[in-house]
């Protein structure tokens, strides 16, 4: 196994362990056509709107994360104070890359109670959830929207769990971000404030540990601080990889890159797609065997 494959496997394995820790609160199924939240029964049509709204919150959060690694000429980069003229992570569709990777390639258990998501939702109970075109009159906050999913017997996407985590940290850094421009509090932070949020995650912030670590069952209790230290660096590394790789322009059907990726342009990479370097093909100096 190459070092790159080993690093990637380690990254996915540890994110998968975080997934085990973060997989949702106790499931409380209700009637087939409704779900109860805070004593109020919500129809499935409302639950569908909640899912749609939470996907928008996640996308907004990952847009804010993407420009933290590779800024560009977009509103998110301007908000954090680092706009640039050249194309950045948003033009490379990095948010889509992260959502796809976290929800499809990181292992998640089918039957695990989900206390961490519920704990983070409580920390986001006063964050307004208002999106154009989505009527959520029965749900007042981001925390209540998550609760609606938690009491419904469905899987909690890992991308949403990380979304909750980043926005919880954003409120720790700057409580004023609970409302304002953009959908997600994390996107309202400055560049320095986003760095502080990751510092809290990697430094085992006492408030985060108190909210999350006390909710998980044994033997996982006491693991959150260690997972947080790895998760912080992994999210930044993986997001940067998404901004510089060919994912956005790669066509799986033809197995080819349809147009020049943003990362190639920003890094002045011009050889195109390579099957390998000539001097790396075959055995070194024509050798056919190795003697002990």
List the single range of 44-58, 91-105, 190-204, 265-279 with lowest mean pLDDT: 265-279
Domain count, the chain: 1
Of residues 279 and 247, the one with the higher pLDDT is 247
* Widest CA span in the chain: 75
Of residues 220 and 90, the one with the higher pLDDT is 90
CA distances in angstroms from 189 to 64, 73, 84, 102, 142, listed in the order given: 9, 17, 17, 23, 18
Inside any domain, residue 49: yes
Inside any domain, residue 282: yes
Q: Report the pLDDT value the prediction gives residue 22, as an integer from 0 to 100.
A: 41
Inside any domain, residue 105: yes
- DSSP code for 287: -
Q: Report the pLDDT value the prediction gives residue 94, as an integer from 0 to 100.
A: 96
Inside any domain, residue 64: yes
pLDDT tens for each residue of 205-256? 556 665 665 555 555 555 555 566 677 888 999 999 999 999 899 888 888 8
Q: Which residues pair with 134 in a beta bridge?
A: 131
d(CA 31, CA 41): 9
Q: What is the extent of the structural domain holding 244?
A: 3-286
Q: What ranges make up the beta strands (E) of the chain?
A: 34-37, 40-43, 250-251, 256-257
Inside any domain, residue 292: no
pLDDT at 122 exceeding the cut of 70: yes
On whether the CB atoms of residues 202 and 233 are closer than 8 A, the answer is: yes
Inside any domain, residue 291: no
Average pLDDT of the chain, as a whole number: 76
Q: Report the pLDDT value the prediction gives residue 75, as an integer from 0 to 100.
A: 96
Q: Report the pLDDT value the prediction gives residue 48, as an integer from 0 to 100.
A: 84
Inside any domain, residue 94: yes
């Amino acid at each position: 196994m190459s070092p790159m494959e080993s690093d990637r496997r380690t990254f996915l394995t540890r994110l998968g362990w975080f997934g085990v820790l973060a997989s949702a609160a106790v499931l409380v199924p209700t009637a087939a056509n409704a779900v109860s939240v805070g004593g109020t029964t919500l129809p499935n049509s409302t639950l569908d709107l909640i899912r749609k709204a939470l996907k928008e919150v996640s996308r907004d959060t990952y847009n804010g994360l993407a420009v933290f690694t590779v800024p560009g000429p977009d509103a998110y980069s301007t908000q954090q104070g680092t706009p640039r003229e050249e194309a950045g992570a948003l033009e490379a569709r990095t948010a889509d890359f992260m959502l796809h990777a976290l929800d499809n390639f990181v292992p998640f258990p089918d039957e695990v109670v989900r206390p961490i998501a519920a704990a983070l939702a409580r920390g986001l109970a006063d964050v307004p959830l208002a999106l154009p075109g989505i009527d959520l009159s029965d749900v007042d906050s981001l925390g209540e929207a998550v609760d609606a999913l938690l009491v419904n017997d469905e899987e909690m996407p890992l991308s949403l769990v990380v979304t909750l985590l980043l926005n919880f940290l954003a409120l720790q850094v700057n409580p004023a971000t609970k409302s304002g421009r953009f959908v997600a509090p994390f996107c309202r932070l400055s560049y320095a404030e986003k760095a502080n949020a990751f510092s809290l995650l990697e430094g085992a912030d006492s408030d985060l540990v108190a909210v999350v670590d006390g909710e998980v069952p044994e033997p996982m209790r006491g693991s959150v601080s260690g997972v947080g230290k790895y998760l912080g660096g992994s999210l930044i590394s993986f997001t940067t990889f998404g901004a510089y790789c060919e994912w956005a322009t790669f066509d799986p059907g033809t197995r080819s890159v349809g147009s020049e990726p943003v990362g190639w342009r920003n890094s002045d990479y011009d050889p195109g797609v390579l099957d390998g370097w000539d001097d790396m093909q075959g055995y070194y100096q024509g050798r056919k065997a190795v003697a002990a």
